[in-house]
Amino acid sequence: MAKGQKQKADQQLALTNQQASNAGSTASGIYSGLYPQLSAEATNPQGYSPADMNAMTTASQQALGGATAGITGQANLEAARTHNSGSYGSVLDRAAQTAGQTQSQNDLGIQQANANLKQQQQQAGLSALQGLYGTNMGQQTSLLGLGPGTLGARAAGGSWAQNTLQPIASSVKSIATA
């Protein structure tokens, strides 16, 4: 075995071990920060915060309240102009009924948007966890063959010249003796 080959193989093995250690440390650092957050997102997505849900519902109620107030004002004006308040009650009833139906639809839309957001957050968490796992495993497995390959080169021994010229010399010797 050539002295230089053994030394180079030992250096390469030490470098491979250091790279594997660095990869493990990096993965551990990444996992310790991201894994708990992504796991929580995958298992218990938050959706909109309660304050945001309340703000959306309040905005819808305010818009409908303004529309209903406008209808009420118009009905009052019409009753005053015509001196006929007979249809006034039915107009207000219809306005209140429509506002209630619209608010119900708006609330349902807000709840549906929240459920969709939770599902998106869950999928994003799972996807990110899968990506972390794939990145870490890819880096680790790319290092697996380096150490054994280096050890194999070290165990094989011999120099390039010995490994190449010796079979040629044997072949020439067998031809000469034949």
Confidence of residue 79 (pLDDT cuts 50, 70, 90): confident
Higher pLDDT pick, 124 / 134 = 124
Residue 125 lies in a domain: no
* pLDDT exceeds cutoff 60 at 102: yes
CA 93 to chain centre: 50
Spatial contact of 30 and 129, defined as CB atoms under 8 Å apart = no
CA nearest to 60, candidates 93, 92, 95, 102: 102
- Same structural domain, 13 and 31: yes
- Same structural domain, 60 and 20: no
Q: Of 100, 118, 136, which one is at a domain's C-terminal end?
A: 118
- Judging by beta carbons within 10 Å of its beta carbon (0-12, 13-18, 19+), is residue 50 exposed, middle or buried? exposed
- Same structural domain, 63 and 21: no
Residue 133 lies in a domain: no
- Whole domain around residue 53: which residue ranges? 48-118
How many separate domains does the chain show?
2
Mean pLDDT, residues 117-135 = 84
CA 30 to chain centre: 14
CA nearest to 72, candidates 90, 92, 87: 92
- Same structural domain, 53 and 8: no
Residue 163 lies in a domain: yes
Mean pLDDT, residues 136-140 = 66
pLDDT, averaged across the chain: 78
Residue 128 lies in a domain: no
What token pair was written down for 124? 């994003």
- Same structural domain, 61 and 104: yes
| pLDDT number for residue 14 | 80
Mean pLDDT, residues 65-94 = 83
- Same structural domain, 67 and 108: yes
Please work out, in degrees rounded to the nearest 5, the angle formed at the alpha carbon of residue 11 by the alpha carbons of 135 and 6: 130
- Same structural domain, 70 and 114: yes
Residue 177 lies in a domain: yes
- Same structural domain, 69 and 40: no
Rounded Cα–Cα distance for residues 134 and 115 (Å): 29
Residue 124 lies in a domain: no
Residue 101 lies in a domain: yes
pLDDT digits (tens, 9 = 90+) for 40-50: 888 888 899 99
Residue 178 lies in a domain: yes
- pTM comes to 0.55
- Same structural domain, 114 and 52: yes
Mention every residue, 6+ apart, whose C-beta is less than 8 A from residue 131.
Answer: none
